[in-house]
């Protein structure tokens, strides 16, 4: 399936997106087609595994709008390869506005999609807007504290301390006008990557597209520690799908379940690890199929005009 290259601005910076137009009229209503706004997780780019999900949505009758954050992939912006939760959530908001300007899009049927770290963003973005009708959070990072504890349990205290020290060093260096300090996004065990468990390198690089770079500013650990999605989930009025990998080594399943409960989510469990729901892995068809079925249910209801109350979600 083909897509159209689209550009939009976020805080004055040019961002790159792909627009997948719906391939059927199955979900088209009086006001047009629904659209799903998508971004990648930890250090990812839109050309690294988002297209197969977007193609499923388009085949079902929804447009899809996949974008790169500022400083990543084909988007402009500096510093490069630096994760800022605040900036990435701003980019989601700008991408939603851009998606709403697409031809024949129903502005009352907007969905946002995220996985892993972007799965955290969609809770906050969705809770702060009244024009988001549906939220999909696939294996989302819901608690920086829980993820940190899991990482310490698997890699040891010394590794955690070294990552924290490197992050502080990068922040201090940049504050003094110096250069960023980088580490690999993913590596084989013992090679110093942010994600360095057995199999992580093979799984991540198998998805990697041509714009992806295997480096991330070491300050990312300082950003992750602040992640907590339960308050946002409680405020969320959009319909919510949360997908949990029961044997997830990166995002503790119990912390995801707590956020899902707080958000009164539709929950699906998969007996697999974090990357196994991505294209090329055993649970992709099931996970993406559940997302399509959820969107069909969410978008089969009449659109809600922005600023008005939505009917309560099922308990």
pLDDT for 313 beyond 80: no
Domains belonging to the chain, first-starting first, are 4-146+227-299 (3.40.50.1820)
- What was the pLDDT predicted at 149? 61
Q: Tell me the mean pLDDT in the region 228-242.
A: 97
% of the chain exceeding 70 in pLDDT: 84
Contacts of 110 (CB under 8 A, 6+ apart): 34, 35, 37, 96, 99, 100, 131, 132, 133, 134
Instruction: Give the residue, 106 or 178, on which the prediction is more confident.
Output: 106
Q: Tell me the mean pLDDT in the region 163-182.
A: 63
pLDDT tens track for 192-225: 888 888 999 999 999 999 999 999 998 887 788 7
Q: Tell me the mean pLDDT in the region 30-44.
A: 96
Measured in degrees and rounded to the nearest 5, phi and psi for residue 81 equal 55, 35
- What was the pLDDT predicted at 302? 46
Are the C-beta atoms of residues 52 and 189 closer than 8 Å to each other?
no
Lowest mean pLDDT, pick from 209-213, 241-245, 303-307: 303-307
Q: How far apart, in whole angstroms, are the C-alpha atoms of residue 2 and residue 19?
A: 9
pLDDT tens track for 266-292: 999 999 999 999 999 999 999 999 999
- Strand residue runs (E) in the chain: 4-10, 13-20, 33-38, 63-67, 105-115, 132-138, 182-183, 216-217, 239-245, 266-270
Are the C-beta atoms of residues 43 and 81 closer than 8 Å to each other?
yes
- What was the pLDDT predicted at 121? 97
The token pair at 136 is: 């999909």
Q: How far apart, in whole angstroms, are the C-alpha atoms of residue 88 and residue 281?
A: 27
pLDDT tens track for 42-75: 999 999 999 999 999 999 999 999 999 999 999 9
Nearest to 111 by CA among 51, 58, 34, 27: 34
């Amino acid at each position: 399936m083909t897509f159209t290259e689209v550009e939009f601005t976020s805080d004055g910076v040019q961002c790159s997106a792909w627009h997948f137009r719906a391939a059927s009229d199955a979900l088209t209503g009086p006001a047009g087609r629904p659209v799903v706004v998508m971004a990648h997780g930890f250090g990812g780019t839109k050309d690294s595994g988002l297209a197969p999900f977007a193609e499923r949505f388009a085949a079902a009758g929804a447009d899809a709008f996949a974008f790169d954050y500022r400083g990543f992939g084909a988007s402009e912006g500096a510093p490069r390869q630096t994760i800022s939760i605040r900036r990435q959530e701003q980019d989601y908001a700008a991408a939603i506005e851009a998606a709403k300007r697409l031809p024949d899009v129903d502005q009352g049927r907007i969905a946002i999609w995220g996985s892993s770290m972007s799965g955290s963003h969609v809770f906050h973005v969705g809770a702060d807007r009244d024009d988001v009708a549906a939220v999909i959070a696939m294996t989302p990072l819901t608690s920086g504290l829980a993820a940190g504890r899991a990482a310490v349990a698997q890699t040891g205290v010394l590794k955690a301390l070294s990552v924290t020290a490197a992050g502080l060093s990068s922040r201090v260096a940049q504050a003094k006008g110096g250069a960023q300090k980088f580490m690999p996004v993913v590596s084989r065990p013992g090679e110093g990557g942010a994600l360095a468990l057995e199999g992580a390198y093979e799984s991540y690089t198998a998805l990697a597209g041509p714009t992806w770079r295997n480096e991330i500013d070491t300050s990312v650990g300082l950003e992750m520690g602040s992640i907590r999605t339960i308050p946002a989930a409680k405020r969320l009025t959009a319909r919510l799908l949360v997908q949990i990998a029961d044997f997830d080594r990166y995002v503790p399943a119990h912390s995801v379940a707590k956020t899902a409960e707080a958000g009164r989510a539709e929950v699906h469990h998969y007996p697999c690890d974090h990357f196994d729901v991505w294209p090329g892995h055993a649970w992709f068809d099931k996970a993406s199929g559940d997302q399509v079925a959820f969107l069909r249910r969410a978008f089969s209801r009449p659109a809600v005009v922005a600023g008005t109350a939505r009917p309560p979600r099922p308990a």
